[in-house]
Structure 1
Amino acid sequence: MPHSASIEISQLSKHFPAGPTRIPAADNLSITCDPGTMTAVTGPSGSGKSTLLHLIGAIEQADSGTILVDGEDITSMRRSRLEAFRRSVGFVFQRYHLLPALTALDNVLAPLIPHRVAFDKVARARELLDAVGLGGRYNALPGELSGGQQQRVAIARALVGRPRLLLADEPTGNLDSRTGETILDLLIQLRTEQGAPTMLLATHELRLADACDRIIHLTDGRIVEDTAATRVG
């Protein structure tokens, strides 16, 4: 059973150029997440939610500060080690990012294709599609699926490698309210399962945030509130 990751962020900063100035997307952030916890990152558009997830997932590089995942500083990793680290992270994006020419099953399998794993890849992919309610759509192309179904495929893909860390960036942002509720339920259910990864979710959805262990609210790249969530069923 894969373990869940611990996260310790210290004095993390990231700025982006904007004409003659530099805009802070992460401004001296310090955050600790215990293994197996679920943390919501909230805030208005441009507050730094996505940037924080991209920094933790090693998609973006920090200007300064450290990010320790299980005690290992990803801000100072060599490229080869970073590639291995990224394979231990599952990503769910707002726009799904499915490959249009691949079936649902092959989209879920895609992250595993270049790598050896200690389990049956196809069986794992089928198991996850079953779990997200798409057991009958293994051979469907993304264009034959609704937006909510595509996001379910994306969640299955994020979990196929048994990640220790799951990062979800506005996972319901492109969905209607009813479909969004289904995706929220899937993510909430995931946190109760044995061996579930540590999760950070950038979201505007209050119900999803309240289902987390804590809510970190960002404004202009700074933490303005960090509170325990009110758990909902």
Structure 2
Amino acid sequence: MTVSVRLDEVHKVFGRGEGRIVACDGVDLVVPAGASVALTGASGSGKSTLLHMIGAVEAADSGRILVGEDEVTAMNRRELARHRRGVGFVFQRFHLLSALTALDNVIAPVLPRKVPFDRAERAAELLAAVGLGGRERALPSQLSGGQQQRVAIARALIGSPRLLLADEPTGALDSATGTQITDLLHALAGEHGFTMIVATHERSVADRCGRIVALSDGRIVNDSWTNERTNGRTDGLND
């Protein structure tokens, strides 16, 4: 089941004194369930920090973050761990384990957990879904950058996430491969129905989403709908 995301007056500051960096400065944002939203802005604008707080990788200093009916900012350690299991992460640098095969990299997030499916079978199905059928035993060093990102996407999906957070998923790829990865993410979002938030500095990636939220110095400076999609758009969205 997909989920909505809501941020109310969220603040996050790193450092102190002259080195103090305001990463999020009172951010209010609502993402409807099933929507596809791009966060854009220059490096240091707060895109990644927002994703990390939604996914409970970073804690907000103040404000509220809700994913569905669950208030992330009020969770204890055990609840945060459970929340993370419902979130899929895709990063710019893939973060694959070099000693593991593609199949084992996909399995890794659910290895310590009890799951209602056969791990290897599901991992193989996901690798086939991202175009890597037959490469299950390949090591990351034997795969191209685009193929490694496909493994990372399959890994993000093995837990059947309600929410996918992608941080510069095409940043380490050439433009043609980046387009393929963008197409793949949206195809999978349509198939699996998860809510997707993508942090990107690439306009072509942002334009594929239904909505573009521009950030600068930790604040939202523009929030607009794209012409290509209207994912999750509702009247009174920010009521």
TM-score under structure 2 length normalisation = 0.93
Could you say which residue in structure 1 is the equivalent of 2:210? 213
1:134 aligns with 2:109: no
1:204 aligns with 2:169: no
TM-score, normalised with respect to structure 1? 0.95
Q: Distance in 2 between matches of 1:191 and 1:81?
A: 26
1:106 is matched by which residue type in structure 2? D
Alignment-derived partner of residue 113 in structure 2? 115
Aligned to 1:59: 57
**2:80 is aligned with what amino acid?**
L
CA distance in 2, matches of 1:227, 1:185: 21
Letter of the 1:13 counterpart? H
Q: How far, CA to CA, are the matches of 2:157 and 2:201 in structure 1?
A: 22
Q: Which string of whole-angstrom CA distances, capped at 9 and with x for unpartnered residues, describes residues 59-98 of structure 1? A: 0011100001112111110101110110110000000000
Distance 2:144 2:16 in 1: 37
Q: Cα deviations across residues 159-180 of structure 1 (Å, max 9, x unaligned)? A: 0100001000000000111111
Identify which of 144, 149, 152 aligns with 1:151: 149
Distance of 2:16 and 2:196 partners within structure 1: 31
Tell me the CA shift for residue 191 of structure 1.
2.6
Matched, 1:176 2:145: no
* C-alpha distance in structure 2 between counterparts of 1:206 and 1:43, whole Å: 10
Match for residue 227 of structure 2 among 224, 227, 230: 230
| C-alpha distance in 2 between matches for 1:213 and 1:132 | 22
Tell me, in whole angstroms, the C-alpha distance in 1 between the residues paired with 2:202 and 2:18. 35
Q: 1:18 and 1:94 mapped to 2: Cα distance?
A: 28
Q: What are the superposed Cα offsets for residues 100-132 of structure 1, whole Å, 9 maximum, x if unpaired?
A: 000000000000100111122211111110011
In the alignment, the residues of structure 1 paired with residue 35 and residue 200 of structure 2 have an alpha-carbon distance, to the nearest angstrom, of 16
Q: Partner of 1:13: helix, strand, or coil?
A: strand
Q: Which residue of 1 aligns with 2:84?
A: 86
Query: Residue 186 of structure 1: which of 184, 190, 206 is its match?
Result: 184
The amino acid that maps onto 1:10 is: D
Residue type matched to 2:115 in 1?
Answer: V
1:39 maps to 37
Residue 205 of structure 1 and its aligned partner are, at CA, apart by 2.2
1:8 alignment partner, SS class:
strand
Alpha carbons of structure 1 residues 219 and 52: separation in structure 2 relative to 1, 3 Å: same
Q: Report how far residue 18 of structure 1 moved.
A: 5.7
Q: Is the 8 A contact 1:4 1:36 kept in 2?
A: yes
Gaps of 5+ in 2: 230-239
Deviation per CA, 1:1-23, whole angstroms, max 9, x where unpaired?
A: xx011111100000111653521
C-alpha distance in 2, partners of 1:166/1:46?
22
Establish whether residue 12 from structure 1 lines up as the match of residue 10 from structure 2: yes
Distance in structure 2 (CA, Å) of the matches to 1:88 and 1:47: 26
Tell me how far 1:188 sits from its aligned partner.
2.0
In the other structure, the counterpart of 2:163 is 165
Runs of 4+ more than 3 Å apart? none
| Contact 1:38/1:212, CA 8 A, preserved across alignment | yes
- What secondary structure, in the 3-state scheme, does the structure 2 residue paired with 1:218 have? strand
Count matched residues: 229
Identity of aligned residues (%): 59
Distance in 1 separating the partners of 2:179 and 2:19: 40
